[in-house]
């Protein structure tokens, strides 16, 4: 069976994305038939375009946008998180979110995860975080539940903004 994505042109010159597949069918000993299936892909293309726009928005954000499992394991890490915390995605994915906690505050993020599991909204929660180089920074966190397509609570979105400079300016 051969499969291919192509664009077909309508008589008006409009390009239509389609998925084509062709397969040979044995009809009897001496002849073959062919089955051609053409699937119009506009809805899939639109969905993929929307996913790409959302991905670009997350990646271009200056805020740290992280997803973590319900057990606190880091599942995604954007460029804003790299800028704020200093870890690349390759270094941090699969690690426990507590890697960002100073020793004297260990367990605080787990408490926030538990509150999120109970559908308590965590917005603009000020907390100390630890950068890769050991520097402590002030971060404003917002935690939100993430649900799959069936409505099951599957992970947590954690958006963090470095507010260290703003806190320093308030002291002056």
Q: What are the tokens at 57?
A: 């928005």
Q: What are the tokens at 63?
A: 């805020």
Q: How far is CA 74 from the centre of its chain?
A: 11
pTM greater than 0.75 (yes/no): no
Instruction: Quote the pLDDT of residue 138.
Output: 95
Question: CA 172, CA 165: separation in Å to the nearest integer?
Answer: 11
Instruction: Quote the pLDDT of residue 21.
Output: 83
Q: What are the tokens at 40?
A: 């119009």
Instruction: Quote the pLDDT of residue 132.
Output: 97
Query: For residue 36, which of 60, 56, 20 has the smallest C-alpha distance?
Result: 20
Instruction: Quote the pLDDT of residue 172.
Output: 56
Phi–psi pair at 166, nearest 5 degrees: -60, -40
Question: CA 112, CA 16: separation in Å to the nearest integer?
Answer: 48
CB 161 within 8 A of CB 140: yes
Instruction: Quote the pLDDT of residue 51.
Output: 86
| 112 conformational bin, left if phi > 0, alpha if psi -120 to 50, beta if neither | alpha
The per-residue pLDDT for range 111-147, each reduced to its tens digit, is 998 999 888 889 999 999 999 999 999 999 999 999 9
Radius of gyration of the chain (CA): 24
Counting Cα atoms < 13 Å in the Cβ hemisphere of 130 gives: 15
Residue ranges per domain, the chain? Answer: 2-47, 62-171
How many CB atoms are closer than 10 A to CB 139? 23
Instruction: Quote the pLDDT of residue 31.
Output: 67
Residues of the chain with pLDDT under 70: 1-3, 26, 28-31, 170-172
CATH architecture of the region 62-171? 2-Layer Sandwich (3.30)
């Amino acid at each position: 069976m051969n499969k291919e994505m192509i664009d077909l042109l309508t008589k008006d010159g409009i390009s239509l994305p389609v998925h084509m597949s062709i397969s040979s069918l044995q009809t009897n000993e001496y002849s073959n038939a062919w089955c051609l299936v053409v699937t119009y892909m506009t809805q899939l293309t639109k969905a993929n375009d929307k996913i790409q726009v959302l991905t670009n928005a997350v990646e271009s954000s200056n805020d740290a946008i992280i997803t973590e499992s319900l057990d606190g394991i880091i599942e995604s890490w954007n460029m804003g998180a790299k800028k704020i915390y200093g870890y690349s995605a390759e270094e941090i994915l699969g690690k426990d979110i507590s890697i960002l906690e100073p020793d004297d505050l260990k367990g605080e993020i787990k408490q926030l995860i538990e509150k999120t599991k109970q559908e308590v909204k965590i917005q603009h929660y000020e907390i100390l975080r630890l950068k890769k180089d050991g520097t402590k920074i002030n971060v404003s966190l917002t935690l939100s539940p993430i649900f799959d397509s069936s409505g099951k609570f599957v992970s947590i979105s954690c958006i963090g903004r470095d507010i260290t400079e703003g806190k320093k300016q308030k002291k002056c």
